[in-house]
Amino acid sequence: MEPLTNPRLRELLDARKENSLNDSALQNVMNQIAEEVVERAKFLAVIQMDDSAVTHNEDGTATFNQGSTITVCTLSTSDGKVFFPAFTDWDAIAKSPYAKTEPKTLVVSFDDYWAMVKDTDAGMVINPGCDDLLFTKETLRRFHEVSEMKKNGVIEHTVEKDTPVQIGDPAENPKKLKDALRACAEHYREIRTMWLKLMVKEGEKSWLLIVEHKGERKPLFEALAKSARPHLENMYIDMVSYSDPFGKKAADDNPFYVRKKTGLFGF
């Protein structure tokens, strides 16, 4: 089995260190790094496990045995912040704090790292001891949300307790966006009422669509997101069910869409 390499990411990490980069050029490099990290790169995570946890195959691969326990190693900064190391290749490990320990590793993706950090306060560090590129949990959350938007057309996340959020009406009416959402809703009898608000969370603006609906929300949200996408103008759209406590709190007496009652029982 060939060793893991990430030539494009390695190239971008080296470019990041160029002293000749102005602020705009550096931001461009960082954007490309983020895209590579989230969408294409694979990483080596340092792990701890017993030899009995795996069965080695003839083709050089290994299979984890059922019930085995694997611990992914972390590193801490001097101020106590915790990060999961992510190595681009074995050369990076040779320059790391693990260089003299002959560590066991596991090939993982960005989605794997997000699964590890999302319920913790930890972050991710690429090539500690070499590139030392730190991503906090909140940065990783935004990476994950952008990835979800690209793949599924909708972001689903929970606003954590004590996170400051401002909700209000936009200064200018987003008519094209509302019209597209109304047209989509007419095809789904499950959608009853919708509100569109402007949300500011941690300094970042996005649209907040509150949907009162029956049944499963995923297919409805995906359809609404698809219809909204051409009219977002470089903003994101977050969606929440009216039945969610946050949705009820964010809604008001002025929905922009209410399904007309047509039948004897209002359907």
Q: In terms of DSSP bridges, do strands 237-241 and 257-258 run parallel, antiparallel, or are they unpaired?
A: unpaired
| Side-chain-facing half-sphere of 209: CA atoms under 13 Å | 32
What would the pLDDT profile of 27-56 be if each residue is shown by its tens digit?
889 989 999 999 999 999 999 887 776 677
Q: Domain 165-258 is in which class?
A: alpha beta
Res 262 pLDDT > 60: no
The residue ranges of every structural domain in the chain are 7-150, 165-258
pLDDT for residue 154: 58
Summarize the confidence of residues 177-203 as an average pLDDT: 93
pTM of the shown model: 0.62
Which of the pair, 261 or 58, is modelled with greater confidence? 58
Rounded to a whole number, what is the distance in angstroms from the first to the last CA of the chain?
Answer: 60
Q: Are 105 and 137 in contact (CB under 8 A)?
A: no
Kindly report the backbone phi and psi dihedral angles of residue 256, in degrees, each rounded to the nearest multiple of 5, phi listed first: -90, -10
User: What DSSP letter does each residue of 171-204 carry, written as one string?
Assistant: SS--HHHHHHHHHHHTT-TTEEEEEEEEEEETTE
Tell me how far apart the alpha carbons of residues 250 and 114 are, in angstroms, rounded to a whole number.
Answer: 28
